[in-house]
Structure 1
Amino acid sequence: MNWRETLPGRAAYGRAGLVVLLGSIAVQNGASVSDDRYLAPAPMAALLCGVALLVRRLPWYIAPLLVTAATSWWGWPVLPLLLVALFDLAAHRRARVAVACIATALVGNLLTRPATSLWTPQQYGSVVFLLLVVVGGLWLGNRRRLVAALATRVEHLRVESRLREEAARAAERSRIAAEMHDVLAHRLSLIALHTGVLATRSDTLPAPVAMRLGLLRTTSTEALADLRDVLGALRDPDATPTSPARAPVLRDVRELVDEARAAGQRIGLTTDGLPERAPTTHRLAVYRIVQEALTNARKHADGAEVTVRVDYRPPATRVEVANSPGNARTDTVGGGYGLVGLRERVTALGGHLEAGPADAGAWRLAARISHPVGTEQNDTEENNAEENGTEQNGDRT
């Protein structure tokens, strides 16, 4: 491929306009030294050189060869086109070829001694001029290559960042599936356990009831096995599968806060409502949000006071974590995609996550996840009970 085909659009049009202008000057100069005859060899040679510089699909060496030969024979009239050829060669890492063209043109003028030789009126003036054009071409070529390399690097970083975000979202989906596998496996195992205990007393139960209990126990056991087959593949390949009897239960935010306090963090916790009133997926999301927020506070605001507010009351589960300004630690390494995973989790539950700076240099992370529609009636009844004083409201720590 000809190197002229790789020029950007504006650069290509600008070069073509310059070649047309300098070609016209070269033709006019050739006609001037040929008694104002445009059909003389000099103007025709200048026209041929200009066309060769404009045609994009010619081999790269054709135009420099023609322009160098014409300049060697006629000298100054064709010099503008030689400057364009030398600049192009130098800009595309062909400086040695450009120097060879200069030497050929100067030696040719020295041997043929035309009236418009490059050695007149000043003996070495044209040499300096030609070398400056080569230096300018080298500078511009290096600058273009640097800009292209930087643009390619930026594009690679953009693609890499997008791929990492997608990987973080996929990892968060896998974690959600694994957590739900643990929770559902735990509950199904309890159903199977209790129905098995009742089935052992089938002699004291009516026959239809004993039969239904046996069917319920068999169905729960099969559902547990199917759940493992479907969601177990989403776990860490190196992890050891957890038995149903030892499936982890949901951890409360209070436990997480107590662990962080034991590590030296200053945390104020405020909870409203009962965690059991929120769906299991909401409680898992709250735990992950608080965990990520406390981790980020330790990394980027060491020693700062952290405020955690959790509200499980309908119509939505709300969580907000804010920390005051602190000192960033230099001994921590992180991927920087924890918030991407949290946003993916909250969005999958139909919620909204906000993260960003707050007043006075603080940082705030907040999420709101609406409760399922089917629980609205029960939630309303519980709210009325709370207002009548039959249910204790919240917890302040």
Structure 2
Amino acid sequence: MVLLTLAAVQNGASSAGGHYVAIRSAVALACGLALLLRGPWWLAPALTTAAAGVWGWPMLPLLLLALFDLAARRHIWAAVTCSALALAGNAVLHPTVSLWSPQQYGSALFLLLAVVAGLWMGNRRRLVDALNAQVEYLRTERELREQAARMAERSAIAAEMHDVLAHRLSLIALHTGVLATKKDTLPAPVIERLSLLRTASTDALTDLRDVLGALRTDTSPATDRPAPVLRDVEEMIGQARAAGQFVDTTVEGSPEQAPAAHRLAVYRLVQEALTNARKHAADAPVRVRIDYGPPATLIEVTNPPGPNIRGAQAVASGFGLIGLRERVEALGGHLNAGPGGAGTWRLAARIPHPVTEQNGPLT
């Protein structure tokens, strides 16, 4: 911008016999200042059009820059009007170095090129802005979907724990109630403790239903069934085998050694791993290893690439793994999912058992 302004001052002084202190030099500086400061959109084009219309070629670089800026801002008619006024002013006033010389239509070609270049630059700038806005929108959408997946998994965990804990608290209340009916064979302090235990278990069951019951998203009788345990894991694996999926299962330890929340996590992890294997590695054998510990519940599922890999068969969203990671981390464990070497895919989770403190006899 500064160089073009100085060039306009130099050209104007040359056409005026070498006099730098002249009105055309001041006008050139005013045009350059208007272009540099970015005032109202019409100010710089008006000044440069008037200057080029009066003095011709010396002011042409500044006029071309103003036309470029107008075209980039989509003021096409303003750019065309400025070009026509500048050419008309030279045709009427006949300055020393007219825009119509040395070739009759040479300056018109420069003006047209400035407008076309401005249009291209403006469209490119708007395209880049639109792409940036789209990327930001997609990033925000993905964050919202990840958050929704986490919240859905938390709701599922709460609903499943409601089933498990409600069942066990109901058993406690039932058995304490049965024992409380045997008042004749039990000491009075035991009867009193049983009554307190039954009341506490009933209140805890009510509080649990109030707090966690609202998180259920589906309370229809058809879906209100007990939470899945090992039997359901074996049934799910059996269904996968019946559908033609080869699954090799290794189970170590007993399910009763792990808390109910761990068994629920085992079911969800194996379910998600088998589903991903069917989607992305069809006909590939899957190896499932479950260790109920203690001191931790371990789940490992591996599979090699499928023999019939189809390139863009399915686009992985990753939201299933997000929900699984939320579940495992809520239990104090960690989940790893990714390539396991030799082209295999490996999903592994370790969930530590809760530490129970047992007090020894007092001495």
Amino acid aligned to 1:254: E
Within the alignment, does 1:263 sit opposite 2:235 as a pair? Answer: no
CA contact (8 A) 2:228 2:267 kept: no
Within the alignment, does 1:251 sit opposite 2:229 as a pair? Answer: yes
Match of 2:341 in 1: 359
Q: Secondary structure at the match of 2:356?
A: helix
Tell me the TM-score normalized by structure 2: 0.91
Out of 100, 104, 119, the residue aligned to residue 100 of structure 2 is 119
Match of 1:141 in 2: 122
Match of 2:79 in 1: 98
1:301-320 matched pairs, under 5 angstroms: 301-320=281-300
Q: CA deviation at 1:205?
A: 2.7
Match of 1:183 in 2: 164
Q: CA deviation at 1:209?
A: 2.5
Q: CA deviation at 1:211?
A: 3.0
Amino acid aligned to 2:122: G
Match of 1:276 in 2: 256
Cα distance change, pair 212–169 in 1 and its aligned pair in 2 (3 A): same
CA contact (8 A) 1:301 1:325 kept: yes
Which region of structure 1 is more displaced relative to structure 2, 203-212 or 258-267?
203-212
Out of 151, 154, 157, the residue aligned to residue 173 of structure 1 is 154
Match of 2:302 in 1: 322
Match of 2:331 in 1: 349
Note the residue ranges of structure 1 that are not aligned, 5 or more in a row.
1-18, 378-397
Match of 1:158 in 2: 139
Q: Deviations over 1:125-184 (max 9, x none)?
A: 111111111111111111111111111111111111111111111211121111111110
CA contact (8 A) 1:315 1:376 kept: no
Q: Deviations over 1:345-381 (max 9, x none)?
A: 111222111101233432110011122232799xxxx
Q: CA deviation at 1:315?
A: 2.2
Match of 2:355 in 1: 373
Which region of structure 1 is more displaced relative to structure 2, 322-331 or 311-320?
322-331
Give the Cα separation in 1 of the matches to 2:297 and 2:111. 76
Q: CA deviation at 1:195?
A: 1.7
Give the Cα separation in 2 of the matches to 1:30 and 1:55. 22
Amino acid aligned to 1:140: M
Superposed structure 1 runs of 4+ greater than 6 Å apart: 328-334
Tell me the TM-score normalized by structure 1: 0.84
Out of 5, 20, 24, the residue aligned to residue 38 of structure 1 is 20
Within the alignment, does 1:52 sit opposite 2:34 as a pair? Answer: yes
Give the Cα separation in 1 of the matches to 2:313 and 2:108. 60
Amino acid aligned to 1:297: A
Q: Percent identity?
A: 66
Q: CA deviation at 1:305?
A: 0.8
Q: CA deviation at 1:224?
A: 0.7
Q: Secondary structure at the match of 1:342?
A: helix
Q: Secondary structure at the match of 1:116?
A: coil
Cα distance change, pair 332–211 in 1 and its aligned pair in 2 (3 A): farther
Q: CA deviation at 1:196?
A: 2.1
Matched residue pairs, number?
355
Q: CA RMSD in A?
A: 2.3
Give the Cα separation in 1 of the matches to 2:205 and 2:58. 92
Out of 58, 67, 83, the residue aligned to residue 48 of structure 2 is 67
Cα distance change, pair 371–340 in 1 and its aligned pair in 2 (3 A): same
Q: Deviations over 1:80-115 (max 9, x none)?
A: 100110110111111221111111111110111112
Within the alignment, does 1:288 sit opposite 2:268 as a pair? Answer: yes
Give the Cα separation in 2 of the matches to 1:20 and 1:250. 75
Give the Cα separation in 2 of the matches to 1:87 and 1:249. 69
Cα distance change, pair 109–93 in 1 and its aligned pair in 2 (3 A): same
Q: Deviations over 1:315-349 (max 9, x none)?
A: 22111001121246899898540000111111122
Q: Deviations over 1:275-311 (max 9, x none)?
A: 1111222222111111111111122222211100011
Give the Cα separation in 1 of the matches to 2:68 and 2:358. 77
Match of 1:22 in 2: 4
